[in-house]
Chains A and B, each alone.
Chain A
């Protein structure tokens, strides 16, 4: 019996899922839905710029066996291979998830010098990278918002526990349950559109403090429930 228990524990360690990284992009920055998602990139947001170069921020993840220190060295090697690019380690950087590292990449662009800030956090063999790109001359105006966004990264088991409040978690679960219930009574296209509109208005309104990326994840969860019924109807 003891043998089987030990084997079970060993197997369990391989099955544990990875947490979800969540961050808050600057308010009013718009989610980017690319036709062809880039490898490693989970999400991108773009803000308004004075010229043709708009500030943007993205979240990427990568499996790694390296420590934070060694991963940053590997990142330096990747960036310094690019021509006309300067890379700088700005030092330790506190994020909600823990202690990370902030780096800066500078390069030239017809519109002006580009400044890219990259915040890196490593935990449990996964590197989490938040990257913000902007024109260097515009950085002073948006510095506070950008640094707040980079610091906002945290890891959560799921979108519900990310709320950090049992009442809000229950409310969100009930909200999704109501979508399921309403659609089971009326799964017409009009009803689905109504549910989608409700999702778009309610999620940012009721959970404004959670930030744009969490809103995207929550809306994707709701959309999956709405579309699940559409897929089932198509197959009938």
Chain B
């Protein structure tokens, strides 16, 4: 009886798992590859050199401005 109950519980649990992910069965596979090749071509054409460093330097400049303005308000 215990084995039957456990088996039923396992089956129910597994079927629930499948039921909650219908998107995998109906989604279009290969989309990422399509996006990747298009993105690579666009980046190649743009020749972007905007590195992580430039982005973070801008972030620090923004922090600097916020610190100055809050310091001004404190006085």
Contacts and interface: CB of A to CB of B under 8 A. Distances in A.
Interface of A: 2-3, 6-7, 10, 14, 30-34, 38-41, 44, 46, 49, 52-58, 60-66, 70-71, 74-79, 105, 107, 109, 114, 116, 118, 120, 125, 127, 129, 131-134, 189, 192-193, 196, 200, 216, 219-220, 223, 227, 230, 234
Interface of B: 2, 5-6, 9-10, 13, 17, 24-25, 27-37, 39-41, 43-45, 47-56, 59-60, 63-64, 66-67
Contacts of A200: 53
Contact of A131 (B6, B40, B54, B55): B40
Contacts of A53: 44-45, 47
B45 A52 contact: yes
14 contacts: A3-B9, A65-B24, A74-B30, A78-B30, A78-B33, A114-B41, A116-B40, A120-B33, A131-B33, A131-B40, A189-B67, A196-B56, A200-B53, A234-B66
A189 B63 contact: yes
A116 to B, nearest CB: 5
A196 B60 contact: yes
Contacts of B6: 2-3, 6
Contacts of A31: 51-52
A56 B36 contact: no
B43 A40 contact: no
A33 B36 contact: no
A233 to B, nearest CB: 9
Given A32-B51, A78-B30, A79-B34, 17 more contacts: A2-B6, A3-B2, A7-B9, A40-B35, A54-B43, A56-B40, A60-B35, A62-B33, A64-B29, A77-B30, A109-B41, A116-B37, A120-B33, A133-B40, A133-B44, A216-B52, A227-B59
A33 B51 contact: yes
A30 to B, nearest CB: 5
A60 B32 contact: yes
**5 A-B pairs closest in CB distance:** A62-B32, A74-B30, A133-B40, A40-B32, A74-B29
